[in-house]
Structure 1
């Protein structure tokens, strides 16, 4: 006789997912134990395995949920309605910080995935690599319409500009992350404005160069 599988309890599953997000975000994949997730979610370890199969699949489901949550609320107009390159990057960075302050666990989980990619299980590593490619494609889609409004110097292409821009912004985003980690009391974007002002200044240097005409 075929056994009928009991339906999942959405309330318990939501508790499992919330507990997994909190603990994976703070402790990473390897250090986080399923027992700890079960205890935080107030369910049995066996129920977690019943719903998700194993720790690897639970982590992958948590990654997907975090990424999908952020993508669902992202406002592309922040990029596309900016008047110029510097305004676009500054506005986008300010917007990303505001999202990170609203969704700190999701950002921390994804950031840990990028930083500790080689430590992730195979499914998680593959998913993060796919996110990296998707993010590169998304960046091009958001940035290139702004580039289309600009006139580049002879010999400079939009691809060249995007490559340089990525170097500058990725380095400065690390500085923002370090600042937020060392200043957990920060809760608003306004508290980050001095750093944003520095980013704007550096971007102006990139846009116009730093060597005066001879």
Structure 2
């Protein structure tokens, strides 16, 4: 019986790092030969550790998620006293984090967007990995935010949470775009334009659009 070769954690780590970068930049069409070269291992080593490109892709998604989960500070979302500061601070933090971990964000953005390069079954599996974590984190954040709000007694709290989640996601996308266009902005004091815009959104949220 052939003895199975022991795994080298450093090689495995190097392959995953290279895979995250390659899949983030080139999508699923990234070649395993390119990944092997970036990891400084043979192509055979890639398949010895991960069996197939599909398994390597799933492992890369898991690793990207694990990396960001380990460093992300959810207190940035939950420690704010009001929705305006929460959305601004959290989106700025997310933007900065994406600059620190560009390959992880690039890969997970492709997963979230249902990258059509990826075979359908694998695409569904990868999205499920990301979506499960995102739903759990979002639920925790929204729960804590809603607990700080003085809601009208007749409102269904579940619907309020769902509505807030949808609203915050869209506003956050707009703010992230603003930060990408203005990388020089670092302090809340310099964010008057976007803060005022978010305040207007929150005023509409709290008071409606009808007299």
TM range (shorter): 0.7 to 0.9
1:12-31 residue pairs with structure 2 within 5 A? Answer: 12-29=11-28, 31=29
The 5-angstrom pairing of residues 157-176 of structure 1 reads: 157-175=156-174
Once the two structures are TM-superposed, the CA of residue 102 in structure 1 deviates from its matched residue by: 1.3
Deviation for aligned residue 1:53 = 0.5
Aligned alpha-carbon RMSD (Å): 2.9
Partner of 2:209: 211
Out of 60-69 and 112-121, give the one that drifted further.
112-121
Is there any run of 5+ residues in structure 1 with no aligned partner, and where? Answer: none
Tell me, yes or no, if the aligned pair for 1:101 and 1:187 is still in contact at 8 Å: no
2:77 corresponds to which residue? Answer: 79
The alpha carbon displacement at 1:189 in A equals 5.0
Q: How far is 1:165 from its partner?
A: 2.4
Distance 2:116 2:59 in 1: 18
Post-superposition offset of 1:202: 4.2
1:6: Cα distance to partner? Answer: 2.0
**Normalising to structure 2: TM-score of the pair?**
0.82
Displacement of 1:118: 5.2
Which of 48, 56, 59 is residue 57 of structure 2 equivalent to? 59
In structure 2, stretches of 5+ residues that fail to align are none
Q: How many equivalent pairs are there?
A: 209
